[in-house]
Structure 1
Amino acid sequence: MRHFRSSDFRAGRAWGALDIAELNGVSVRLHWTNAPYEWHVNEGEEVFAVLDGAVDMHVRQDGEVRIIPLRAGDVFHAQVGDEHVAHPLGEARILVIEKAGSV
């Protein structure tokens, strides 16, 4: 049994992660960041839960970019093929659940 206090976690670099668990090929990781990620499409579905801070999730659909503001307690679900990039507003801690080995 392990316990994690997300507010205490800080990585040495943006998007650094603390591996929490791998469940039947699905990874659960706590990320710390203070910088945007990169535009990407996951091979599988992704659940992105903001635990601390705020993140603007940029999504691209049919060539149009839309911004979804996420605050602590908000959850974003990306389906296979959804192009997106997270832009934290300052520091943020995010729980990401996705296919193990996803980008």
Structure 2
Amino acid sequence: MNTQHIRPTSFTAERAWGARTIACMNGISTRLHWTDQPYRWHVNDGEEVFVLLDGTVDMHVRDADGSVRVIALQCGDIFYAGAGCEHVAHPHGEARMLVIEQEGSI
């Protein structure tokens, strides 16, 4: 039996958005990310789910009309980005997120 026990608040990476892959199942990856820097505006290949495990993050989302909304995420919050949703995460200090997405997605 293969098992893992991970304490997210202890996880760090060598660079912003560094990740530890927890599982890849049927083309879906589950990864623990650590960052202290914003990512970049992007659109994923498919759907994406963020679970904020530690810290606070402002998720910026570009709507179809070009306007930008900011959603303040707190520890325990879940954010879903549907296919085609342009977004970027801006942490306030260090943050740790569980990200579930299509394997190989940016």
TM range (shorter): over 0.9
TM-score (norm 2): 0.96
Q: 2:101 — aligned with what?
A: 98
| Identical aligned residues as a percent | 64
Matched, 1:63 2:66: yes
Q: Give CA-to-partner distance per residue, 1:43-94, whole Å, 9 cap, x none.
A: 1100001000000000000200110000100000000000000000000000
Gapped regions of structure 2 (runs ≥ 5)? none
Stretches of structure 1 lacking an aligned partner (at least 5 in a row): none
Secondary structure (helix, strand or coil) at the match of 1:47 reads: strand
Report the residue type matching 1:83 in the other structure.
E
Match of 2:22 in 1: 20
Structure 1 match to 2:51: 49
Give per-residue Cα distances to partners, 1:8-66, cap 9 Å, x unaligned: 10001000000100010000000000000000001110000100000000000020011
- Measured on the aligned residues, the alpha-carbon RMSD in Å equals 0.4
Partner of 1:89: 92
Say which structure is richer in strand.
Answer: 1
1:29 matched to which residue of 2? Answer: 31
Matched, 1:6 2:11: no
The correspondence for 2:77, drawn from 54, 65, 74, is 74
AA aligned opposite 1:17: A
Partners in 1 of 2:48 and 2:58 — Cα distance? Answer: 16
Kindly provide the amino acid, as one letter, of the partner of residue 97 in structure 1.
I
Cα distance in 1, alignment partners of residues 38 and 69 from structure 2? 16
